[in-house]
């Protein structure tokens, strides 16, 4: 489902990053080489800049314990076709006190 229209992207949504379709208004200035590895990944929307038509997504690569945040143009974002589990669920499941119990 396309979310590039105004008002369809909201903070907290999980969205998938796709290549830019030709003629979509995507400009090379919106992208850096390090973002290439995020294509087809999903992330949670942290901020929405409607004037710039971009959303700040937080991505978590569990296998590398890597958390990243990138601004993506709306034209590159879509709602996942299937239900996506919360990529941060494992992080939220453990608190610092559980990892390091208090010394009594």
Distance between CA atoms of residues 72 and 12, nearest Å: 15
User: Tell me, what's the pLDDT at 90?
Assistant: 57
Q: What is the mean pLDDT of each run of 10 residues along the chain (104 residues)?
A: 64 86 56 82 93 92 82 87 59 50 56
- Reported pTM: 0.66
> Does any domain span residue 23?
yes
Domain with 19 in it: 14-99
> Does any domain span residue 68?
yes
From 21, 15, 28, select the one nearest 56 (Cα to Cα): 15
């Amino acid at each position: 489902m396309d979310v590039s229209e105004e008002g369809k992207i909201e903070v907290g949504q999980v969205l998938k990053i796709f290549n830019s379709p030709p003629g979509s208004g995507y400009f090379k200035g919106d992208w850096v080489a390090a973002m290439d590895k995020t294509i087809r990944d999903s992330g949670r929307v942290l901020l929405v800049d409607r004037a710039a038509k971009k959303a700040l997504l937080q991505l978590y690569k569990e296998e590398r314990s890597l958390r990243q945040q990138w601004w993506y143009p709306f034209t590159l974002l879509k709602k996942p076709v299937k239900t996506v589990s919360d990529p941060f669920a494992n992080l939220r499941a453990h608190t610092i006190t559980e990892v390091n119990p208090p010394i009594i």
